[in-house]
Structure 1
Amino acid sequence: MKRLHSFILKSFLGPLAFTFFICMFVLLMQFLWRYIDELVGKGLEWTIIAEFLFYVSATLVPMALPLAILLASIMTFGNMGENYELTAMKAAGISLQRIMKPLIILIILISLGAFYFSNYIMPVASLKTTTLLIDIKKQNPELILKEGIFTNDLPKFSVKVGEIDKNTGMMYNLLIYDHRENLGNTDVTIADSGTMVTSKDKLTLNLTLYSGNIYQEVKQKPRNRNKNHPSRRIKFQVFKQNISLPGTDLKRSDENRYKNSYRMLNLKQLDQQEDTLKFKLDEDKHIFAKSLSSKYFQKEPRNLLQDSVKSVLVKQKILDADSLFSNLSLLKRQTTISYALDKGRKTRETISRKNNELSAQVKWQRKFTNEWHRKFTLPFACFIFFFIGAPLGAIIRKGGLGMPVIVSILFFIIYYIISMTAERFSKELVIEPVWGMWMSSLVVLPLGIILTYKATTDSSVFNIENYIDFFKKINPLNLFKKKDA
């Protein structure tokens, strides 16, 4: 049995590693395709890009690992079924459960490792990825000039070039807007030709212009945009200027600014943050209810005269609202109704506005609850997908990357759609977080149980001939033929 277990483990570990890296590569390419505009043209060093891709790869493990387990299990048992190795094992009296036993132990260990990864490593990777992505977005891009198009890559300048000689680097028909004073288009330079050369340290841009004019609006305080202001024109044959560049070094921001986000916390921190949010929400509800009640429903007397009137009314026991209202004159009745309607509208607007604020707080709190459940859904998904893939491979008996890939992607898409939809419902407060985060697992779990049972009993689930024979039996034409006979 030790040799058999070693053979099964070797047959599974190879496809698992192969499919895991394939899934990671596909998901990473999808991520790069989404954020390619943020990375290109920023002058980033390869070490920064490698660091960023490493952190991104760590955040993609929850999607890649379950799919890799599903693919590897289908391929492993599909290959053994196609090569009649499963048949030989069953003929020797070894059941499918005993064949799967070493892999079940391995999947349990992988699930425990996935839980540890999701609880301790994923928050750090998410924090690093988020911080680095924000820093990259803030990084000023390299200056890339295109003919006939305004370029705003140069800080505080807007440049348009009519034509560029690629051999000499000379530019023609330049139009430059200087926005360093933040006063709009008050400083414009027009030149017939010119060059732009970056210094070796990439901190200064040496601008040389030939045969042009500088149009400047004279500064006046206060400046009225609706009136004309004096301006001056400076004509030049050669104009040189050094413009400071921000440099290509990436400026790192403080990670503590984002460490309290729900994706950057482990289970213990999520519990603490969720308790804090619940306490704050309950406190806001209590304060609002108290202020609303004292402001609109229990209005206190404003002076001593009202106190005396109230005491007299209490003694005479005529505090009935209907009787008080009926004793008023018509004009006072109309005034009272108008006043009550105005107070009612204001109360409704106040309640509606506060309800939106409280709903936003609840939605933010719900994200922490969903993230808490996500720590457990990843290892459970690995466990479920194995019990779908292993019996499915034993049933279809097809190895390689053909049928297993199609079946795996189909099951994973169904699982992913259910997961994303249910999680969205949970975020929008339609369903509870437990159902939202575990809905996909609860839907797929019975499928794994059924497939395991079918594979254990050697049921031909995917035998098309059985379904064709079944439909032939229920064909109405065959029934009429039997009656005629």
Structure 2
Amino acid sequence: MFKARIIHRYILFEMLSPYFVSLGVFTFVLLMAKIMELTDLVVSRGVGLDVVGRLLMYTMPYFLVFTIPMATLLGVLIGFLRLSSDNEVVALKAAGISLTKLLPPVAALALFSWLVTSMLALWALPWGNNRFENLIYQVASTQAELALKEGSFIDTFPNLVIYIDKLPGGGVLKDVFIVDQRDKKKQHTIVAKRGKFFPAKKGKLTLRLYEGGIYAVDPQRKSPQTAAFETYDITLNAGAFVAKQRKEKHEKEMYVTELLAAMGKVNPDSKEYYLLDMELQKKFSLPFACLVMALIGLPLGIGSKSGRSWGVAVALIVFLAYYLLLSAAWSFGEGGYYPPVVGMWVPNIVFALVGVLMFRQALHEAPIPLLDKLDRLPELIRRLRHRGQDEATED
């Protein structure tokens, strides 16, 4: 018993190092992609760094829900890959320790990852999504250009339809087209070369237009009226705009109880019901992926004959295949081709079966066909590279 504890502790610490390193690296990569996306808010639209920092903090649960299963796979795979490459697994087997007796540390890491990811998916993720959306609309109440998109018609402001051809940055709008229906007796069409939002009184915004014209038709006289302007101000009720947009939560912002309550209010055959159900199933299926990835990582680490770098590549291929299957299941589930409970659990079921089969092969010390083919790839690539170099030398 004492020796088993020492071995289990040794294996656990062997997995923890690549686990936390890969978790940090993958989270940093996703975070950098989000930082590049949010940089435009600072450079072009004048949003403070404190707001961007809070937005990044609110997106962290979303990143971790995906990176923790990836880190679990890499931690187990690289940990056992190191033990296997140094023949420590062979030594353990020679000492009478079977592969099944090496499962407790793997199970401990997998359960820890599952527990953390479950808490993130059930509580932190909807909290972060809700805070992110609230902050975006809070900032939009004083900087409404954040809610605008170039090249599309925007009808979020009451009785106004706005089209902006370009958003070059600095809060400037270029080539603005507006249909103003606030006056029920007369509809105005406004065209301007430039525009910019300015904060006005509390809950108000001023959209200042430059170098344009106003076009209207008097319904009584049935004659067109035009007026040119150098500057023209339109006052908007930004507070009402924000309140209208944040009236209800999106399904990604809902907790489990809220999702169940929302599902009880809609038609079970509607698309809205499918979206709610898929979001509910995702809160449980993504954390379960930690257990599946650990199960796959163990036979991959023991059976692979390549180095750590190739182990990382194999792990990325496995998780990419999982993510593609998950995306396909989400798309088909959203279309109503099958119940969401089936679609969101198919990737876990498929990869769990593959993991069980590979573990069974490793338990009987039989070769794993898929892993053998993957292990031959580096040698095949090396031969093709040498052949290309030889042909280039001959030419």
Of 438, 443, 449, which residue of structure 1 is paired with 2:350? 443
Residues 218 and 80 of structure 1: is their aligned pair in 2 closer, same or farther, counting only changes over 3 Å? closer
Deviation at 1:261, TM superposition (A): 2.4
Give the whole-Å Cα distance in 2 for the aligned partners of 1:390 and 1:94: 15
Q: 2:54: which partner in 1? A: 51
Q: 2:287: which partner in 1? A: 379
Of 275, 288, 292, which residue of structure 2 is paired with 1:367? 275
Give the whole-Å Cα distance in 2 for the aligned partners of 1:34 and 1:232: 38
Q: 2:155: which partner in 1? A: none
Give the whole-Å Cα distance in 1 for the aligned partners of 2:59 and 2:258: 22
Task: Summarize the alignment of residues 418-437 of structure 1 with structure 2, pairs less than 5 Å apart.
Answer: 418-437=325-344
Residues 34 and 216 of structure 1: is their aligned pair in 2 closer, same or farther, counting only changes over 3 Å? closer
Residues 85 and 253 of structure 1: is their aligned pair in 2 closer, same or farther, counting only changes over 3 Å? farther
Of 262, 277, 280, which residue of structure 1 is paired with 2:251? 262
1:27 aligns with 2:25: no
1:276 aligns with 2:265: yes
Give the whole-Å Cα distance in 1 for the aligned partners of 2:229 and 2:104: 87
Residues 363 and 222 of structure 1: is their aligned pair in 2 closer, same or farther, counting only changes over 3 Å? closer
1:393 aligns with 2:382: no
- Paired residues of 2:274 and 2:340 also in contact (CA < 8 A): yes
Give the whole-Å Cα distance in 2 for the aligned partners of 1:233 and 1:371: 50
Q: 2:101: which partner in 1? A: 98
Deviation at 1:109, TM superposition (A): 3.0
| Runs (5+) with no aligned partner, structure 2 | 147-164, 181-186, 199-210, 377-395
Residues 113 and 187 of structure 1: is their aligned pair in 2 closer, same or farther, counting only changes over 3 Å? closer
Task: Summarize the alignment of residues 140-159 of structure 1 with structure 2, pairs less than 5 Å apart.
Answer: none
* TM-align CA RMSD: 4.7
Deviation at 1:29, TM superposition (A): 2.9
Give the paired residue count.
Answer: 337
Give the whole-Å Cα distance in 2 for the aligned partners of 1:102 and 1:27: 28
Deviation at 1:259, TM superposition (A): 5.6
Give the whole-Å Cα distance in 2 for the aligned partners of 1:8 and 1:253: 53
Deviation at 1:117, TM superposition (A): 2.1
- Paired residues of 1:388 and 1:451 also in contact (CA < 8 A): yes
AA of the residue aligned to 2:8:
H
- Paired residues of 2:72 and 2:109 also in contact (CA < 8 A): no
Q: 2:362: which partner in 1? A: 455
Residues 40 and 101 of structure 1: is their aligned pair in 2 closer, same or farther, counting only changes over 3 Å? same
AA of the residue aligned to 1:104:
A
AA of the residue aligned to 1:437:
M
Give the whole-Å Cα distance in 1 for the aligned partners of 2:70 and 2:128: 20
Give the whole-Å Cα distance in 1 for the aligned partners of 2:281 and 2:228: 67
Q: Indicate the structure (1 or 2) with the bigger Cα radius of gyration.
A: 1
Deviation at 1:153, TM superposition (A): 6.3
Deviation at 1:33, TM superposition (A): 4.7
Task: Summarize the alignment of residues 211-222 of structure 1 with structure 2, pairs less than 5 Å apart.
Answer: none
Q: Is the deviation greater in 83-92 or in 259-268?
A: 259-268
AA of the residue aligned to 2:315:
S
Residues 216 and 134 of structure 1: is their aligned pair in 2 closer, same or farther, counting only changes over 3 Å? closer
Give the whole-Å Cα distance in 2 for the aligned partners of 1:384 and 1:255: 42
Identity %: 21
Give the whole-Å Cα distance in 2 for the aligned partners of 1:273 and 1:232: 51
AA of the residue aligned to 2:64:
V
AA of the residue aligned to 1:127:
N
- Paired residues of 1:27 and 1:60 also in contact (CA < 8 A): yes
Residues 259 and 225 of structure 1: is their aligned pair in 2 closer, same or farther, counting only changes over 3 Å? same
Q: 2:135: which partner in 1? A: 132
Q: 1:69: which partner in 2? A: 72
Deviation at 1:69, TM superposition (A): 0.9
- Paired residues of 1:150 and 1:158 also in contact (CA < 8 A): yes
Residues 152 and 219 of structure 1: is their aligned pair in 2 closer, same or farther, counting only changes over 3 Å? farther
Q: 2:116: which partner in 1? A: 113
Q: 1:10: which partner in 2? A: 13
Deviation at 1:18, TM superposition (A): 0.6
Give the whole-Å Cα distance in 2 for the aligned partners of 1:188 and 1:108: 59
Give the whole-Å Cα distance in 1 for the aligned partners of 2:41 and 2:193: 30
Residues 102 and 429 of structure 1: is their aligned pair in 2 closer, same or farther, counting only changes over 3 Å? same
- Paired residues of 1:16 and 1:68 also in contact (CA < 8 A): yes
AA of the residue aligned to 1:78:
L
AA of the residue aligned to 2:327:
M
AA of the residue aligned to 2:131:
K
Give the whole-Å Cα distance in 1 for the aligned partners of 2:241 and 2:7: 53
Deviation at 1:40, TM superposition (A): 3.8
Give the whole-Å Cα distance in 2 for the aligned partners of 1:86 and 1:38: 52
Give the whole-Å Cα distance in 2 for the aligned partners of 1:51 and 1:364: 30
Deviation at 1:224, TM superposition (A): 7.8
AA of the residue aligned to 2:302:
A
Q: 1:89: which partner in 2? A: 92
AA of the residue aligned to 2:363:
T
Residues 59 and 152 of structure 1: is their aligned pair in 2 closer, same or farther, counting only changes over 3 Å? closer
Give the whole-Å Cα distance in 1 for the aligned partners of 2:120 and 2:329: 24
Give the whole-Å Cα distance in 2 for the aligned partners of 1:150 and 1:112: 46
- Paired residues of 1:127 and 1:255 also in contact (CA < 8 A): no
Q: Deviations over 1:61-109 (max 9, x none)?
A: 2211111111111111101111112122111111122123122123123
Give the whole-Å Cα distance in 2 for the aligned partners of 1:269 and 1:141: 32
Task: Summarize the alignment of residues 154-169 of structure 1 with structure 2, pairs less than 5 Å apart.
Answer: none
AA of the residue aligned to 1:392:
L
Deviation at 1:450, TM superposition (A): 1.0
Residues 24 and 82 of structure 1: is their aligned pair in 2 closer, same or farther, counting only changes over 3 Å? same
Task: Summarize the alignment of residues 292-441 of structure 1 with structure 2, pairs less than 5 Å apart.
Answer: 362-400=270-308, 402-441=309-348
AA of the residue aligned to 1:262:
E
